[in-house]
Chains A and B, each alone.
Chain A
């Protein structure tokens, strides 16, 4: 039972990281209707920036995270401005390929700048876990921080999209860009803002992911990127609570499949569950059912 609880906690913690990454995917998809394949690599860039500011420049971790967030936000805006904005009218496949190009660019740029040697990400949290039930149940500080960060981000985003002017503009754009423009909403600025928020979240996710899995290479971001992306689809792409639900479920399934079925097959099981969910509910768990019009 306690082992089960331990796995559950690990699953929720990993799932929270996926959920934060998935938010970036889901918000961009909701507004720009594009799959931003470069998102996973923004995570990697964020993790590297945090790594260097802490280990090379001896800055405190909080400053490192802040720098990573600022750099990734800027990176997200620049990518959107240079690569995606010129393709607003293009087919979704063209945008997808461009996103893949950006992803290659970031990976190879990182490899040139920082070499492909594995960097050991420093652990920011004390490795001494909190022991409950006489040491049977161990919760690491990293897990608690991850889950808390996820909850705070989720509440913050829900407030932001629901209450602020910019958030309302975002929802309007995702509903109908043309109508939003007619109502005086600056659609381009709103899309840039979405990319900025998504990339800032990616930086935080990168730091959290690397605190749990400390090996940092230029391809670190791609697998969590793909998984978070399936998490976003799993929960219903375009929906913020869906990203949370999808991410956490995916994390739990991955940890449980690895623990109880087979470690080697855990990725396959995660994807198999995704397929089953999509076949039963093609729009994901919390996605909006869109009626097809002729």
Chain B
């Protein structure tokens, strides 16, 4: 019998798919048996949303190699577009309405991503980071001053102040800085799982395609890539917009699992939190992002951390600093290598 040999990347990809499916099956099983605490059950949808956010940011940071500090802005666009769509769409089936809202959210975020990306991607390095930070703040300010309502004539929007006059039966959906209230919770863990799988399929196939190789060539050496004829703006924008669209879908998933969302939820700190997932998981490493996003979302909610109560955020900060020191300091790295490398060499002969 001929064995099908998979390349290393393919093995990692399939392992990642398998891991996600396994995690979903186990959690579904535990949930069905009523073995999950209510806090964890409440975290299932946010975990999927944050995993998707981490994966999509990893596309920008790890694959495209550009630092974005405003990723929560796209999540915000998706969340509010999704919440408005879910409230306005005349679809009775909840899963269909959720799917349609997520598609609309992804489109809205992709359009925003294009508008942001065209000017921003001309810059490099730290400057790009600052401009994405600025865009994140601008998106937050815009959403905080946006009013959207619905009545039998359709959607109405106004900016800065609420000037919407309704006919009978009209109601506000997005109420400026108060955000969206009374959202019908139509997100489910299954929908989150499907979204994570879809995002993984898109990212793995993109990375393995001609476009993906062009994007990684830009990351590794922009000038060299440009000199062999790779159009810089096109591929940068492509990765950036795909990443934004994914963040938008994640935003809709997140928003439709909450009662209330406000623009404050998607501020600079959220962008940073997602960046932390990506960096701790390893740039360009998708399963790392999934693990980091899951653990860091659950960690503050677990019993052990709850016991620390007031200290948990402090512990979180210390863990973050220590992990960064342990993984990046040459002395500590040498120490770990001399202590543990021998074992690894014996075991690592599988290569």
Give the interface of A toward B (CB within 8 A): 35, 83, 86-87, 89-94, 96-98, 100-102, 104-105, 108-109, 111-112, 222, 226, 229-230, 233, 237, 262, 264-265, 267-268, 271-272, 274-275, 278-279, 282-283, 292, 294
Q: A292-B223, A294-B223 are in contact. Are A98 and B321 (CB under 8 A)?
A: yes
Secondary structure call for the B interface: helix
- The chain A residue sitting closest to B275, CB to CB, is A97
**Measured between C-beta atoms, what is the minimum distance from B31 to chain A in Å?**
31
B289 to chain A, nearest CB (A): 14
Stretch from B19-27, B210-218, B329-337 at the A interface: B329-337
13 A–B contact pairs at CB < 8 A? A86-B331, A93-B67, A98-B321, A108-B316, A108-B317, A109-B314, A233-B130, A264-B141, A268-B141, A272-B134, A275-B134, A278-B130, A279-B119
A181 to B246, CA, bound (A): 47
B275-329 with Cβ < 8 A to chain A? 275-276, 279-280, 283, 310-311, 313-314, 316-318, 320-321, 324-325, 327-329
Cα–Cα distance between A232 and B324 once the two chains are bound (Å): 26
CB within 8 A of B141: which of A35, A86, A108, A265? A265
Beta-carbon contact of A230 and B142 below 8 Å = no
Given pairs A94-B327, A104-B316, A226-B268, 5 additional interface contacts (CB within 8 A):
A86-B329, A97-B324, A105-B317, A274-B130, A274-B131
Using known A-B contacts A94-B279, A94-B324, A233-B130, determine if residue A271 contacts B314 with beta carbons closer than 8 Å.
Answer: no
Question: What per-residue 1/0 map shows which CB atoms of B125-141 lie under 8 Å from chain A?
Answer: 01101110111011001
Q: Is the CB of A100 within 8 A of B141?
A: no
By a CB distance below 8 angstroms, the chain B residues around A112 are 310-311, 314
Does the CB pair B160–A278 fall under 8 Å?
A: no
Which 10 A-B pairs rank lowest in CB-CB distance, beginning with the nearest?
A268-B141, A271-B134, A104-B317, A101-B320, A105-B317, A90-B328, A101-B321, A108-B313, A86-B329, A94-B328
Instruction: Determine whether the beta carbon of B137 is less than 8 Å from that of A262.
Output: no
A275: contacting residue among B135, B314, B318, B330, CB under 8 A: B135
Residues of A within 8 A of B160 (CB): 262, 264-265
Are B283's CB and A93's CB within 8 A?
A: yes
The distance in angstroms between the C-alpha atoms of A91 and B329, with both chains bound, is 10
- Collect the chain B residues with CB atoms within 8 Å of residue A265's CB: 141, 145, 160
Check if B272 is an interface residue, CB within 8 A of chain A: yes
Contact A87 B318 (CB under 8 A): no
Name the contact of A91 in the complex, choosing from B120, B276, B311, B328 (C-beta under 8 A): B328
Instruction: State in angstroms the CA–CA spacing of A101 and B320 once bound together.
Output: 6
| Chain A min CB distance to B328 (Å) | 4
The reply to whether B276 and A230 contact each other, CB–CB distance below 8 Å, is: no
- Does the CB pair B272–A100 fall under 8 Å? yes
CB-based contact B321/A275 at 8 Å: no
**Is A35 a contact of B126 with CB atoms below 8 Å?**
yes
Find out whether the CB atom of B122 lies under 8 angstroms from the CB atom of A279: yes
Shortest Cβ distance from residue B80 to the other chain A in the assembled complex, whole angstroms: 16
Docked CA distance A205–B119 (Å): 33
The winner among B130, B268, B310, B325 for most chain A CB atoms within 10 A is: B130
CB-defined interface of B249-280 with A at 8 Å, one 1/0 digit per residue? 00000000000000000001000100110011
Chain A residues with CB below 8 A from B134, complex form: 230, 271-272, 274-275
| Beta-carbon contact of A278 and B138 below 8 Å | no
Query: Contact residue range for chain B?
Result: 35 or more
Is there contact, CB below 8 Å, between B279 and A97?
yes
B144 and A264 within 8 A (CB) = yes
Counting CB contacts under 8 A, is B123 at the interface? yes
CB pair B328–A275 under 8 Å, yes or no, is: no
Determine whether the beta carbon of B314 is less than 8 Å from that of A86. Answer: no
A264→B142 CA distance, assembly (Å): 9
Kindly state the separation between the CA atoms of A112 and B315 in the bound complex, as whole angstroms.
12
How many Å from the CB of B65 to the closest CB on chain A? 10
Chain B nearest CB: distance from A271 CB in Å? 4
Q: Give min CB distance, B173 to chain A, whole Å.
A: 19
Shortest Cβ distance from A257 into chain B, in angstroms? 11
Give chain A residues whose Cβ lies under 8 Å from the Cβ of B122: 279, 282
Alpha-carbon distance between A84 and B55 when the two chains are bound, in angstroms: 28
Give every chain B residue within 8 A of A262 (Cβ-Cβ): 145, 160
Closest to B142 in A: A268
List, in ascending order, chain A residues with CB within 8 A of B127's CB.
233, 278, 282-283
Determine the distance from Cα of A278 to Cα of B128 in the docked complex, in whole angstroms: 9
Closest to B223 in A: A294
Could you tell me the distance in whole angstroms from the C-beta of B319 to the nearest C-beta in chain A? 8
Residues in B neighbouring A100, C-beta threshold 8 A: 272, 275-276, 320
Q: Given A97-B276, A97-B320, A274-B130, are A87 and B328 also a contact pair (CB < 8 Å)?
A: yes
Q: Cβ of B142: which chain A residues have Cβ within 8 Å of it? A: 268
> Which partner residue on chain B sits nearest A106 by CB separation?
B317
- Roughly how many angstroms separate A94 CA and B327 CA in the complex, as a whole number? 9
Residues of B within 8 A of A275 (CB): 119-120, 131, 134-135
Cβ of B76 to closest chain A Cβ, rounded Å = 13
Choose from A94, A98, A267, A278 the contact partner of B137 (Cβ within 8 Å): A267
Of the candidates B130, B131, B138, B317, the one whose C-beta lies within 8 Å of that of A101 is B317
Q: How far is the CA of A268 from the CA of B159 in the complex (A)?
A: 14
CA distance A80 to B310 in the complex (A): 26
Measured between beta carbons, the chain B residues less than 8 angstroms from A222 are: 268
In whole angstroms, how far apart are the Cα atoms of A282 and B280 in the complex?
A: 30
Determine the chain A residues whose CB is within 8 A of the CB of B328 once the complex forms. 86-87, 90-91, 94
